[in-house]
Amino acid sequence: MAVLFDSVAEALEQATTLDRLAARGTLRLALKAAGLDAEQVTSHQLAVVFRKLMPGELESRGIADSGQVCEALAERAGSFAGASQADSPESVFQRLGGS
């Protein structure tokens, strides 16, 4: 189950006039356009998708202030449920160093 995807889709729904199905579908389309899988996406990848692809997706769906909405969600990407810092350079070096 993609906890991170679910959390971000819910936040997108709350930040816009999109209903649950539309928010999830729009996010899936943007991830697909970026070549990403909703089950495997990282918080960093989501931040990039929100900055680069989602403004256009939301504009095409009539969402006002899509750039501001997307930037706010991109900035919060690491704080959503399911976001993991497991792949950050710091955590990799921490695991390798044994601390």
Q: Give the domain ranges of the chain.
A: 3-97
- In tens, the pLDDT along 48-95 reads 999 999 999 999 999 989 999 999 999 888 787 776 645 556 555 655
Q: From CA 22, how far away is CA 84, in angstroms rounded?
A: 26
Q: From CA 20, how far away is CA 54, in angstroms rounded?
A: 16
- Tokens found for residue 95: 């695991």
Average pLDDT, whole number, for the chain?
86
Q: From CA 9, how far away is CA 41, in angstroms rounded?
A: 13
- pLDDT at 1 (0 to 100): 42
pTM recorded for the entire structure: 0.79
Measured on CA atoms in the order 13, 17, 23, 26, is the torsion positive or negative? Answer: negative
- Check whether 7 has a pLDDT greater than 80: yes
Percent of the chain scored above 70 by pLDDT?
81
Place of tokens 């256009």: 56
